[in-house]
Amino acid sequence: MAKYIGGDLGGTNVRAGVVDTETGEVTNLISVPTIAREGQDAVLHRMAQLFLDVVKTSGLKISDIGGIGIGAPGKIDIENGRTIFLPNLYGHWENTPVAEKILEYTGLRTFLLNDVRAITFGEWKFGAGRGAKSMAVYAIGTGVGGGLVINNQLHLGMDGTAGELGHTMVDYNGPLCGCGNHGCIEMYASSPAIAAAGLKAVVQGWTTKIGELAGYDLNKITAKTVSTAASMGDPVAMEIYEKVGFYLGIAISNTILHIAPDKIVIGGGGVQAGDLLLNPIRRTVKERVHMVDIDRVSIVPAELGDNGGVIGCALWAHQRITQ
C-alpha cells in the first residue's frame, strides 16, 4: 500500500496531505491553525479531524491508507510515539501520547518523527538528496534544524536525537543558546539571528536599505527584509549574509569531516536567500576542509519546500509499518 498521510505539527499550523510513497507525489494538502493555547486534547482532536478530512477529500477510504506519519519540532520518543518536549508549542507537550490518541481517533496507525529529520528523509528520497549515499540537511528558520542520512539510512542515533546540527558549537565563548549551551550555530544563522543583525545595523545608524524596506519600523525588520536588501546590493545586508554563511560553513565543515557526505542540503526559509547564503558557505568549506575531497561534496538548496516534511513523515510511517 503506497498511500500514507504525512502530517506536520507546527506552532502556527498543522498541515497534512496524502503522499504516494512510491513517487513522492503529495495531494489533497490541507492546513488548519494549531491554536496550541487551547490545550493538547483540542489540538489532537483538530489534527485527527484534519487527517480524516484529507482522506475524505482525496476520495479514498480509510482502508486505502497505510498509516499516518507526523513531524513535530522538538524531542520525540519515536519508539512509543510520544512527544517528549516541544519548545515552540504551548505547554511544551511533555510526554504526550500523540500516536496513541491519533490511532484512537482515526483508526490509523501513527508514527512520530522530528520535523527536520522528516525533511531530511523526504529530501533524500525525492528531493535534492536523490542519489546520495550519505547527506546532511541544515534547515534554517526560527531555529536551525538538522538531519543525517548515512549509508542510505536515516540516522537517528540511540534515541532519535542524532542530527541536531543546529546545536553544533561554533564558538565556545559565544552567546547562550536556548538548549543551554553557548555558541551554537543557531545563535548565528537562524532567521531571528539574521533579523537581529539587521536591527542592530539600523539602530547603530549604518547606511543601509534595511530600515527603508521596513518603513523604519524596527518591529518589522525580519530575515526576509535583510535578504531583500542584500539582493539589492546593500553592502551592510550582504556583509550580514557573509557572516551567516561563514558560521554555517564552519559547522558544515565539521559535519563533512564527520560523515564525508555526498551532499549537504540547505533548507528552511533561510535558503530563499540563494547564493547570498550558499556562496559564503561554499567558500568557507573549501578553505577549511582538507581531509575530505571537497570537490565531491555538493552543497545545494532543498527542492521540496514545505512538502519535504510531509513526504518524509509519510515515508517514515511506511518504513515503520513495512519493515
Q: What is the dihedral of CA 121, 125, 128, 133, to 10 degrees?
A: 90
Burial tier of 262 (Cβ tally within 10 Å: 0-12, 13-18, 19+): middle
Helix, strand, or coil (residue 278) = helix
* pLDDT (tens digit per residue) in 289-306: 999 999 999 999 999 999
Q: Do residues 174 and 184 lie in contact, with contact meaning Cβ atoms separated by under 8 Å?
A: yes
Burial 66-105 (b: 16+ CB within 10 A, else e): bbbbbbbbbbbbbeebbbbebebbeebbeebbbbebbbeb
Distance between CA atoms of residues 307 and 123, nearest Å:
10
Number of alpha carbons in the 13 Å side-chain half-sphere of residue 133: 7
Q: Is 138 a residue whose pLDDT tops 90?
A: yes
pLDDT tens-place string over residues 19-41: 999 999 999 999 999 999 999 99
For 142-167, b/e burial (b = at least 16 CB within 10 A) is bbbbbbbbbeeebbbeeebebbbbbb
Pairing mode of beta strands 13-20, 26-33: antiparallel
Residue 243: is its pLDDT beyond 90?
yes
> Lowest-pLDDT range, 53-67, 86-100, 179-193, 253-267?
86-100
Q: What's the Rg (C-alpha) of the chain?
A: 20
Residue 272 confidence (pLDDT) above 80: yes
Mean pLDDT of 46-73: 97
Please give the pLDDT value at position 323: 82
Task: Judge whether 223 and 197 are in contact, CB under 8 Å.
Answer: no
Three cell numbers written together for 255: 559535519
Residue 1 clears pLDDT 80, i.e. is over it? no
pLDDT of residue 270: 87
101 phi, psi to nearest 5 deg: -70, -40
Domains of the chain listed by start with CATH number: 3-120+306-322 (3.30.420.40), 132-301 (3.30.420.40)
The DSSP code for 176 is B
pLDDT digits (tens, 9 = 90+) for 68-127: 999 999 899 999 999 998 887 888 899 999 999 999 999 999 999 999 999 999 999 999
Distance of alpha carbon 278 from alpha carbon 12, whole angstroms: 28
Q: What is the pLDDT of residue 88?
A: 77
- Mean of all residue pLDDT scores within the chain: 96
H-state helical runs in the chain? 40-58, 98-106, 115-126, 186-189, 191-203, 210-213, 223-231, 235-259, 275-288, 307-322
38 to each of 25, 31, 33, 41, 44, how far by Cα in Å? 33, 17, 11, 8, 10
Looking at the chain, the whole-number percentage of residues with pLDDT higher than 90 is: 92
Q: What share of the chain is helix, strand, coil (3-state, %, to 5)?
A: 45, 20, 35
Pairing of strands 263-267, 298-301: parallel
Determine the average pLDDT of the residues in 209-234.
Answer: 97
Q: What is the pLDDT of residue 222?
A: 96
